[in-house]
Amino acid sequence: MSSINDTGGGGDRFPQWSIHETRDLLMFRADLDPNFMETKRKKLLWELISTRMKDKGHNRNPLQCKCKWKNLVTRYKGCETTDEAEVVRQQFPFYNEMQTIFSARMQRTMWLEAGGGGGASSSKKKGVVHHQFSSDEDDDLENEDISIQGEKKGRGAKRKRKTVMKGRTASSCGGELGNSIVNGVREMMEDFMKHEMEIEIQWLKCNEEREEKRRVKEMEWRQTMEVLQNERMMIETRWRENEEERKIREEIRSEKRDALITALLNKL
């Protein structure tokens, strides 16, 4: 853990760096690496990186970011030159990020060398490898003699403005890309919600149609049952009337029979 959360070259003066902080630093440093290679005065660039770190919630000043970067470069060089590279790379969790930065730097340098003139000398081509590691590790050039820097003051100011404008352009491009992604996701969510609403409306319509059919069938069944109930009551009424008439006829027949028997007995 000491190899991961090192202080970045500042001893006990600086708080330890977390893995998340270091990865954010490498991301910002990779975005501005072309600007670092174009200018020797990198103070504004490190201030820009410090500002981006603070936007991410990391309270790191430009000096801390610079020292941490130098420490990471030293560790990466050790991984590249040691015989036990694989073992060291396993202990250095940021090897892949550093390799990506320096590989992109070498590709840009080779492209510039190829575009600057096809007849470049072999010694100039060999200098590409050395140029891969040349960056703000030599920032002490900022403290050169004032008289020498006075001659280049105008060009240095222009380069600073260009560097800041490039950084702002990169930030604005990143913001526009983020906004476009957010807008795309929002449109997808809106389309998805509209689709879901249409499906729900269709389901409600189908459910209402089924409920209406059920009510119609239920009404028909109730009417049919009422008709059957009325018919049953009519049949039962008729049966009772017929049963009463039969009883009356039976009583009359019994009375007549009794009268005949009585008359016959009287004659006898």
Residue 206 lies in a domain: yes
Q: CA dist 180 to 38, 65, 139, 175, Å?
A: 30, 30, 37, 8
Residue 1 lies in a domain: no
Residue 39: which CATH number?
A: 1.10.10.60
In this prediction the pTM is 0.44
- pLDDT of 117 strictly over 90: no
Residue 24 lies in a domain: yes
pLDDT digits (tens, 9 = 90+) for 63-94: 999 999 999 999 888 887 776 656 666 778 88
- Could you give the number of structural domains in the chain? 2
The domain in which residue 61 lies consists of: 19-92
Residue 218 lies in a domain: yes
Residue 88 lies in a domain: yes
Residue 37 lies in a domain: yes
Q: How many whole angstroms separate alpha carbon 105 and alpha carbon 146?
A: 30
Geometric angle at alpha carbon 162, from 156 and 168, rounded to 5°? 140
Give the residue-averaged pLDDT of 26-55.
Answer: 89
Residue 107 lies in a domain: no
Banded model confidence at residue 141, pLDDT cuts 50, 70, 90: very low
Radius of gyration of the chain (CA): 50
Q: How many CB atoms lie within 10 A of CB 52?
A: 21
